[in-house]
Chains A and B, each alone.
Chain A
Amino acid sequence: MSEFHIGERFFAEGLILDLKGDVTKQAEDALLQWRKWQQALDGKRNLVLNFSDVPYINSAGIAALIRLIDACLKAGIDTYAFGLTSHYQKLFRVVGMTEFLMIYPDEYSLRKRFDDVALE
């Protein structure tokens, strides 16, 4: 399995976490740095997970993602994702994660969504 790490990119409406590597139990500590990201968001309400460089997700990784989503929900932060393969989009639907994590096909469509909302 490839080593997991997270890059951070800020944008006008929130924070993008660029996930790199397998999302498994080994990714748990990195995914649960919630307090650091909440401070970094500084009042913004959107956290985006970029899965473009994630080749593999297993059930332990799904559990870690659920804990992250749970923390976001409690803080009033909306969570989004892009870059998921069709296979993992399907698995996220199966376990019900898509009720809480809004999935977009790519970063461009997600950014366009934020731009459109800002214009309203």
Chain B
Amino acid sequence: MRDIASAIGDLNAPEPRLDDMLTAVAEACLNAIEHGNGERAELPVQVTFLVCDDKYALRVRDCGAGIDAATLRPPAKEENVRTKLGWDNPRGWGMRLMRHCADSIHTGFETDGLFYVELQFARSGLGKGERDE
């Protein structure tokens, strides 16, 4: 994460949404490690940082079978802390945080078979994360 933060910090203009980007990519990496690679240490998780004129794209790749695109869409009723109180293990916040922090999320498979989740953040104007404030 420090390397990613450093790469973003090397950009000429300070990025006000650095925290959103770091949270979203961290959660994507956690999912890649736990669900994509089944917590197998020998399997890689690759992160690529793309800088475009209008957006940043952070692509996280793993060796898993991928996820159903429907999981990217907000559910009809979002879960919150109240619904998970009393659970022995109240986890499952990663996708929610990614949806909130990133302007858009895309998934697919690379030509080498690796599954990817790509998080996009607008560079100019206000992205979704800021508009929600």
Chain A interface (Cβ within 8 Å of chain B)? Answer: 1, 56, 58-60, 62-63, 66-67, 69-70, 73, 85, 87, 90-91, 94-97, 99-100
Residues in B neighbouring A63, C-beta threshold 8 A: 89-91, 93
Within 8 A of A (CB), among B4-34: 19-20, 23, 26-27, 30
Nearest CB of B to A16, in Å: 22
User: Are B23 and A60 in contact (CB-based, < 8 A)?
Assistant: no
Nearest CB of B to A24, in Å: 9
In whole angstroms, how far apart are the Cα atoms of A99 and B90 in the complex? 16
Within 8 A of A (CB), among B86-124: 86-87, 89-94, 96-97, 100
Is B73 on the interface with A (CB-CB < 8 A)? no
Residue of B nearest to A85 (CB): B19
Residue of B nearest to A62 (CB): B93
User: Are B93 and A59 in contact (CB-based, < 8 A)?
Assistant: yes
How many residues on the B side are at the interface (Cβ–Cβ under 8 A)?
24
In whole angstroms, how far apart are the Cα atoms of A87 and B100 in the complex? 12
Question: Beyond the given A91-B23, A97-B81, could you list 13 further A-B residue pairs with CB under 8 A, ordered by the A residue number?
Answer: A1-B1, A59-B91, A59-B97, A62-B93, A63-B91, A69-B85, A85-B19, A94-B96, A95-B80, A95-B93, A96-B80, A99-B81, A100-B82
Most chain A beta-carbon contacts within 10 A, residue among B20, B30, B92, B93:
B93
In whole angstroms, how far apart are the Cα atoms of A50 and B92 in the complex? 24
- Among A60, A69, A90, the residue within 8 A (CB) of B30 is A60
Is B84 on the interface with A (CB-CB < 8 A)? yes
Residues in A neighbouring B68, C-beta threshold 8 A: none
In whole angstroms, how far apart are the Cα atoms of A66 and B97 in the complex? 15
Is B133 on the interface with A (CB-CB < 8 A)? yes
User: Are A66 and B85 in contact (CB-based, < 8 A)?
Assistant: yes
User: Are B80 and A58 in contact (CB-based, < 8 A)?
Assistant: no
Residues in B neighbouring A95, C-beta threshold 8 A: 80-81, 93, 96-97
Within 8 A of A (CB), among B61-91: 80-82, 84-87, 89-91
User: Are A96 and B19 in contact (CB-based, < 8 A)?
Assistant: no
Return the 7 tightest CB-CB contacts between A and B, nearest first.
A96-B80, A87-B19, A59-B93, A96-B81, A63-B91, A66-B90, A59-B94
